[in-house]
A and B are shown apart, each in its own frame.
Chain A
Amino acid sequence: MEKNQIIQRYIETVLEHGEPPGSVYRFAKDLDISEREFFGQFASFEALEAGIWRDLTRATIEAISSGEEWTDFSAHHRLLTFYYAYFEKVLDHRSFFLVRFPRPSRQPLQTPPSQLRLMHDEFCDFARRIIATGVDRGELPCRGKVAHTYPGAMFLHFLSAIDFNLRDDSQGFERTDAYIEKSVKLGFDLIGTSALDSAVDLVRFLSGRTWGKDQQPSA
């Protein structure tokens, strides 16, 4: 069975039962495949979900960077475009998000859970490219090594936007749009000053060390 088919069946199973299958054994049996076949593709349900979160981020980035207006966009507009496109995609998978997405609001300032590791790496690569674009075009100041902390901070913001969206009960989730619009603007305003550096420093202090190279103190 193909990888994507397994993922598809996994999502369906979760949505219908409101929780992941009790065991890989059970799930494999339902799919009429062997456990070996499942483990050939995924180490665990957690790894399977980690792939889902990453793929959605990756697919969004690919879809927007091929748009014809992309090259003209400033860093600010690129990030906004990512968010708007991402939340359009979330609309198709909202139930799955509500059931399975590890939401940061339940444990603020904690290390993001390991299922989001792949998504984090994917997003941070993208964030670094955005920052590089901004610096190249003079939109953002060049802050040397401090700038290495920005992708991590942007990822935390990304999680906050997802959480906001999942809690949003406005029609057409318009409040999420407003949240993105305002908070991204604030973020870019802050990067323009050193306020963000101080804030990241504080958050990092409060949250302890987190995984990922980006968040290591720059040596």
Chain B
Amino acid sequence: MSSTTPISDTGDQEKITSGKVTRVAALAGAGAQVGVNYLKHYGKRAVGAEPAIDDLHEANASTVYRTFSKLKGGPLKVAQMLSIDKNMLPDAYRQHFAQAQYSAPPLSYPLVVKTFRREFGKGPSEIFDTFSQSAIHGASIGQVHRATKGEHTYAVKVQYPGVADSLNSDLAVVKPIALQILGLKDADVEPYFREVQAKLLEETDYTTELERSIELSQQTQQVSGVRFPSYYPEYSSSRIITMDWIDGLPLDQFVARDPDQPTRDRVGQAIWDFYHHQIHILKLFHADPHPGNFLVDADDQVVVLDFGCTKQIPDDFHRDYFEFLDADLLDDPARFEAALRTLEIVSDEDSERERQVIIENAMRGTELLGRPFHHGSFDFGDESYMAEIYQMGEEHSQNEEMRSMKTARGSAHSIYLNRAYFGLYSLMGLLGARVKTEKPVLDYF
């Protein structure tokens, strides 16, 4: 078999596609390429080489990633959200999608100027002493510029135009094709698409994000090891957010420098406490635990960025959900089933067989995901634990019996909270941190 060139060269972050038709074409191209990669895989096997299945996932992931990266806004966000959930995607896909945070195509400086004039009646060079003409880095629906005024350095996030407007059509176009490429079932990803749609619309309103950022950072001051940039409402609007510029390393780059174990533990504990403070005390949390949303500064303090995606949970849901962390629950099948029924994971409409399968799997999942809480502290550096979680996800995705059920079980709140936890566990796994898990949680109850 002849070697196949990738669908396009590495420069395609630069090539912006437009219009529905082009987008469909771009995605269909990726679909075809995934097929080619599979052929290559089987071709290699035919000539005696035994390529690892991971290689195949790797080749497919970079193809799909390149395609998604050509599309801004909705599709990029879907890719990122899927990337958080290890259970949804093979590892290779996940890593490629995680890059998306850093590499959306840039907005031109004249358009940034226009946005400033529209929002403030003045260009950036009239407001700040200096303003970087090109973006320092991209966010999913905007990009960040560096500005100075006097002694102070600011990070200025500017939103892409028309993001909210194109969102719905983008998602409608992307969804069926994404399902095809990624080999996922509609019912499995439906809640994600709905969530992305609602949350992304919310994220396009920077005014709300600014308010939340200020509010959440004030209410989270007492968590040690965590700090927040200050926000500047006078230089912010519905399309622009200005905050302190903070020098630091995104979490994955921090880990790449191989910090010592005590430092990893400290950073991990700070993020862990930050999440539990929000989930249990504020019941309003940062629902986007992506490595790019956390910086580690020179003093090993964790800087939390980007409150675009936050989620509020009601008290009764909080109570029902965290009942599963009670280790005794696992020894009491009747109580366990009752708890599942409260969360609408099991209902009277289920057949006896369905009921059994669900309870069996939920039992295993609860034990596994609750494990860090059942000991005084937990070592997320234990790769076998992360692998076990991943494997459970793989088994679920291959278990026809579970996949064929009328999925989307449980309340919509679970999606956010599950995602926050998967994200948190992934961050802890990335850090290889040992964290104290029991005490703070008990205090909160």
Contact = CB atoms under 8 A, between A and B. Distances in A.
Interface string B217-237: 000000000000000000000
A76 B108 contact: yes
B141 to A, nearest CB: 12
Interface stretch (A96-104, A120-128, A146-154, A168-176): A168-176
B111 A84 contact: yes
B161 interface: yes
Given A69-B125, A175-B162, A181 B111 contact: yes
A81 B110 contact: yes
B165 interface: yes
A170 B18 CA distance: 16
Interface in B15-52: 15-18
Interface stretch (A4-12, A16-24, A182-190): A182-190
A182 B125 CA distance: 24
Chain A CB within 10 A, most for which of B15, B17, B110, B117? B110
B114 A178 contact: no
Given A77-B108, A80-B108, A181 B161 contact: yes
Given A170-B165, A178-B161, A185 B16 contact: yes
Contacts of A177: 111, 114, 161-162
Interface residues on A, range: 20 to 34
B15 A170 contact: no
A180 B16 CA distance: 12
Contact of A88 (B108, B114, B164, B165): B114
A68 interface: yes
A25 interface: no
A182 B18 contact: yes
Contacts of B110: 73, 77, 80-81, 83-84
A175 B162 CA distance: 5
A68 B16 contact: no
Nearest to A171: B165
Contacts of B114: 84, 88, 177
B14 to A, nearest CB: 8
Nearest to A175: B162
A39 interface: no
B18 A178 contact: yes
A179 interface: yes
A183 B16 CA distance: 9
B16 A182 contact: yes
Given A177-B111, A181-B111, A183-B18, A68 B125 contact: yes
Given A77-B108, A170-B162, A179 B18 contact: yes
B111 A174 contact: no
A186 B164 CA distance: 23
A182 B17 CA distance: 7
A62 B123 CA distance: 18
B133 to A, nearest CB: 8
Interface string A175-219: 101111111011001000000000000000000000000000000
Interface string B60-83: 000000000000000000000000
B92 interface: no
B107 interface: yes
B102 interface: no
A80 B111 contact: yes
A175 B169 CA distance: 13
Contacts, number: 59
Contacts of B15: 189
Nearest to A84: B114
Given A81-B113, A84-B113, A84-B114, A178 B166 contact: yes
B374 interface: no
B375 interface: no
A88 B164 CA distance: 21
B125 A175 contact: no
B16 to A, nearest CB: 5
A172 B118 contact: yes
B165 A77 contact: no
B109 A77 contact: yes
Contacts of B108: 76-77, 80, 181, 185
Contacts of B161: 174-175, 177-178, 181
A171 B113 CA distance: 19
A175 B16 contact: no
B243 to A, nearest CB: 24
B125 A178 contact: no
A72 B209 CA distance: 34
A70 to B, nearest CB: 11
Nearest to A169: B165
Given A69-B125, A81-B113, A175 B166 contact: yes
A83 B108 CA distance: 12
Contacts of B125: 68-69
A175 B73 CA distance: 13
Given A77-B109, A84-B111, A174 B18 contact: no
Contacts of A181: 16, 107-108, 111, 161
Contacts of B164: 171
Contacts of A180: 111
A99 to B, nearest CB: 25
Nearest to B126: A68
B26 to A, nearest CB: 13
A181 B166 CA distance: 15
Given A84-B114, A181-B161, A186-B18, 12 more contacts: A73-B110, A77-B108, A80-B111, A84-B113, A175-B161, A175-B165, A177-B111, A178-B162, A181-B108, A182-B18, A186-B16, A189-B14
14 contacts: A73-B110, A77-B108, A77-B109, A77-B110, A81-B113, A88-B114, A170-B165, A174-B165, A177-B161, A177-B162, A178-B162, A181-B107, A181-B111, A186-B16
Nearest first, the 6 closest Cβ-Cβ pairs linking A and B are A174-B162, A177-B161, A80-B110, A84-B114, A174-B161, A178-B162
